[in-house]
Amino acid sequence: MKDEIEKKNIFVRLVNLIVNESYSINRSLFNLMCTTALIAGLFSTISAIVMHFSLSVMVFSIFIVLTALLCFFISIKLKLQTFANVLLVLFVNCCIFPILYFISDGMNGGMPLWMLLGLIATLLILKGRVCAVVFTVNLLIQILTIVYGALHPDVFAPMPDKYMATADMLFALIIVTLSIGFVFKFESKTYEKQQRKIMDAMRRADEANLIKSEFLSNISHDVRTPMNAIVGYSEIAMQNCDDRKKLMDCFSKIKIASEQLLNLIDGILDMSQIEVGSIKLVESECSIQAVINDVIEILDKEIQAKKLNVQIDYSQLWEDAITCDKARLIQIIQNVVSNAIQYSYDGRHLYISVAQPAIDNEQGIARTQILVRDEGCGINQKFLQKIFDPFERERIAGKTEIPGIGLGLSITRKLVQLMNGKIEIKSKEGKGTDVTITIPFAIQTLTEITDETEPDEILIKGKRILVAEDNSLNREIVKDMLETAGCQIEEARDGTFAVDMVNLSGEGYYDLILMDIQMPMMDGYEATRIIRSFQNEHLRKIPIVALSANAFQEDKKKAFDCGMDAFISKPVSAEKLARVLNVILNGDKKREFVAE
């Protein structure tokens, strides 16, 4: 049975070499003609040797084999398909068929049908002017062959008897009919396949256009909502400049709308990166408990507002020290827990558990299940089928004010899949929802994890900071934030100016450099590399913090690789900026601190 399957596979591979869907019709017909000529030549050569035919028959047979091989070589190796086509049809129609015409009794056998097939083949595998010229040459040669035979009947090698002549004619009729039928059937099938491909491509294009239209519609709606708030409250603020209470209320609402708009932009960027496969996981050592505790701390205000009783169960967690992309894991868990909080009823329970049902010590892998269970409104079963689709949000009575852009769970599932995991959601309306995330984490065995705590007191007053930023408005904002915190600020509008200012400064003059990434003359990466190459050790070791709108993981990694000490994504609040600078300037040692 195995031998039969292998033989079948070999036959299929051989057929695919000759006739393949990726080939054009001309190329497939050329391969068929070449293969037929090659097989016929080999068969004739073997027959001539076995049957002791004349030397001329053997030479002619070998000549056919060599010509077929030459045509294959020109087509495959030299990539000259048209030249190979011309050579083949000229050889068949101007050489083989005229010779066979005279040695098979001319019009008394089946050669006229073979000559007709040769002319049809010329029309099928050649195009344009080349086809017209070659067809004319072949037709003239065949006409001359027939006329010469009619004028010189003594040159023919007659058939042994009339039965042989009839058999030869019938054989030619059958083969030529089958060949023409096969060609037209093959062309028809190829045309149908091409039409199906075209229709599939048109259908996919229509679907893509529909998806794009829906995407743009959703984007337009979700962008306009916070933008309307920003524009509206900005106008209200300008009309009430003397009313401090009204101003602070407007500013508070503008900040909320700005954060919503920023979340939308971050979500779209994440989706686009995931779709094109450009997101790269940046793995590091971390603690599962620390990650979940960080998420709970981040969402503490929302939890307190809902008066939720949060229960966390680590009883089935055997390997807490793992290696993973910590930032992405926090993003995954935060998205799920945030949804659970939003859709929970006030005063209910929020249950989080971590279990590791399977641990492979040989591979160093712990299959980890993170369960987030809420006692909220639940999810409609119909909506549950499309819950991971981008921009999908369930409309729930009494829950119209729930914030969100409908990208969180879609991004979460794709990130989980990127970590070779899966996410499952079970829900009952009115009773709550269970979200289970299962990810195989690499167990950390070599390095001990230590929790780093941030100092309670911000101690950056009096520090001299160089701000390298090409955008004057951004420089003004950062300068105002830091001067409010008591820092002394100097400005450089490009990386080249920053390098020169640091090089000309004295030891200890600058306490820290805030470096933008994208600048016109010299970017932040190059400026940092130059500063890190200074001969003066004090200048070379000045802390450099990236302050950039490039918020992707690879941008952060590139910043650390070129020698930066921290990375802050724009836009940044004054509190976040001061907190990160405090860690860099007053910590026991510098660390690669990423402020999200």
3-state helix, strand, coil in the chain (%, to 5): 60, 15, 25
**What are the structure tokens assigned to 341, written together?**
């909080």
The reported pLDDT for the residue numbered 317 is 85
* 365-374/321-324 β-pairing: unpaired
Please check the confidence at residue 282 and state whether its pLDDT lies above 70: yes
Please check the confidence at residue 452 and state whether its pLDDT lies above 60: no
Report H helices in 240-325.
244-276, 288-298, 300-306
Q: What is the mean pLDDT of the chain?
A: 79
Q: What is the pLDDT of residues 321-375, one digit of tens each?
A: 888 888 888 888 888 888 888 888 888 888 989 888 888 777 788 889 999 988 8
The reported pLDDT for the residue numbered 447 is 36
Q: What is the pLDDT of residues 229-264, one digit of tens each?
A: 888 888 888 888 888 888 888 888 888 778 767 767
Which of the four pLDDT bands, split at 50, 70 and 90, describes residue 451? very low
- Asked if residue 483 lies in contact with residue 489, where contact means CB atoms within 8 angstroms, the answer is yes
The reported pLDDT for the residue numbered 375 is 85
- Asked if residue 321 lies in contact with residue 336, where contact means CB atoms within 8 angstroms, the answer is no
**What are the structure tokens assigned to 55, written together?**
């030397």
More confident residue, 90 or 32: 90
Respond yes or no on whether the N-terminal peptide bond of residue 571 is cis (omega within 30° of 0). Answer: yes
User: What is the C-alpha R_g of the chain?
Assistant: 39
The reported pLDDT for the residue numbered 412 is 82
Q: How many residues does the chain have?
A: 596
Which amino acid type is present at position 260?
Answer: Q
- Asked if residue 326 lies in contact with residue 290, where contact means CB atoms within 8 angstroms, the answer is no
The reported pLDDT for the residue numbered 592 is 40
Q: What is the pLDDT of residues 464-483, one digit of tens each?
A: 999 999 888 888 888 888 88
The reported pLDDT for the residue numbered 132 is 92
Which percentage of the chain shows pLDDT scores above 70? Answer: 82
User: Nearest to residue 116, comparing CAs of 95, 99, 93?
Assistant: 93
Report the pLDDT averaged over residues 530-539.
Answer: 88
User: Nearest to residue 64, comparing CAs of 31, 29, 99, 113?
Assistant: 99
Which DSSP letter does residue 155 get?
Answer: G
The long-range contacts involving 382-385, CB below 8 angstroms and separated by at least 24 positions, are: 384/425, 384/427
Please check the confidence at residue 3 and state whether its pLDDT lies above 70: no
The reported pLDDT for the residue numbered 34 is 82
Q: What is the pLDDT of residues 186-213, one digit of tens each?
A: 777 777 877 888 888 888 888 767 766 6
Q: Reduce the secondary structure of 372-420 to three states and give it as a string.
A: EEECECCCCHHHHCCCCCCCCCCCCCCCCCCCCCCCHHHHHHHHHHHCC
User: Nearest to residue 326, comparing CAs of 593, 32, 555?
Assistant: 593
Residue 420's contacts (CB-CB under 8 Å, 6 or more residues apart) are 439, 440
Report the pLDDT averaged over residues 103-121.
Answer: 83
CB atoms within 10 A of CB 503: 12
pTM higher than the cut 0.85: no
Q: What is the pLDDT of residues 377-421, one digit of tens each?
A: 887 777 777 777 765 555 554 444 445 556 677 778 888 888 888
The reported pLDDT for the residue numbered 593 is 43
The distance in angstroms from the start CA to the end CA of the chain is 61
CB atoms within 10 A of CB 578: 21
More confident residue, 180 or 128: 128
Alpha-carbon gap, residue 425 to 374, rounded angstroms:
12
Which of the four pLDDT bands, split at 50, 70 and 90, describes residue 596? very low
More confident residue, 455 or 557: 557
